[in-house]
């Protein structure tokens, strides 16, 4: 091994007996502080926020050193998802008339229905879910799910049993 690394045998054994350098010792102590800060943020804090946390604890450290230590410890931050708007405010389609005028009380079943649509993010993309609720019983009377790329392949309105 010494021949491959071009190190003398006496130099190798001398380095084994030496204590760690001051920098290595401080790096280990810093990692003890960096890791909890990173884990408390559930993996979202990068070097800048961790630097701010360390400054609050009275530790003066450069951002580059934190980056190096995080890279060595394989602490990779997770970025936030980009917010995407799902509705079109300026649509050319007509807006439906408000027939209920915010009066959601019904005297009997099947007199007033309310609907809502939402989307669920999945690995394959968005899954849209539309529901119809009877305002008298507050139960879902029908629903439909759809993936925008496959509208024609989705099933008809479902009615729960």
Single residue among 22, 54, 72 that ends a domain in this structure: 72
Give the other-Cβ count within 10 Å of 147's Cβ.
14
Dmax over CA atoms of the chain, in Å, equals: 95
Number of structural domains (the chain) is 2
68 in the same domain as 104: no
Sheet hosting strand 113-122, strand order edge to edge: 113-122, 125-134, 139-146
7 in the same domain as 61: yes
Give the other-Cβ count within 10 Å of 100's Cβ.
12
66 in the same domain as 8: yes
Parent domain of 37: 2-72
111 in the same domain as 60: no
With respect to residue 86, please indicate whether it lies within any of the assigned structural domains. Answer: no
Q: What is the pLDDT along the chain (161 residues), one digit of tens a residue?
A: 888 888 898 988 888 888 888 899 999 999 999 999 999 988 888 899 999 999 999 989 999 999 999 999 998 888 777 777 766 777 787 878 888 888 888 999 999 999 998 888 887 778 889 999 999 999 999 998 887 765 544 455 555 64
Single residue among 72, 87, 121 that ends a domain in this structure: 72
67 in the same domain as 110: no
């Amino acid at each position: 091994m010494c021949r491959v690394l071009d190190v003398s045998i006496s130099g190798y054994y001398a380095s084994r007996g030496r204590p760690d350098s001051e920098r290595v010792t401080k790096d280990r102590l810093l990692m003890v502080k960096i890791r909890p800060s990173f884990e408390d943020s559930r993996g979202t804090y990068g070097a800048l926020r961790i630097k701010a946390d360390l400054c609050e604890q009275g530790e003066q450290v450069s951002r580059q050193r934190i980056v190096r230590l995080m890279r060595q410890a394989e602490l990779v931050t997770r970025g936030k998802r980009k917010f995407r708007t799902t509705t079109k405010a300026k649509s050319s389609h007509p807006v439906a008339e408000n027939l209920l005028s915010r009066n959601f009380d019904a005297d009997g079943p099947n007199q007033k229905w309310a609907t809502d649509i939402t989307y669920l993010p999945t690995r394959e993309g968005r899954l849209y879910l539309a529901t119809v609720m009877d305002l008298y019983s507050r139960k879902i009377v029908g629903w439909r799910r759809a993936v925008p790329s496959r509208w024609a392949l989705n099933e008809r309105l479902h009615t729960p049993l």
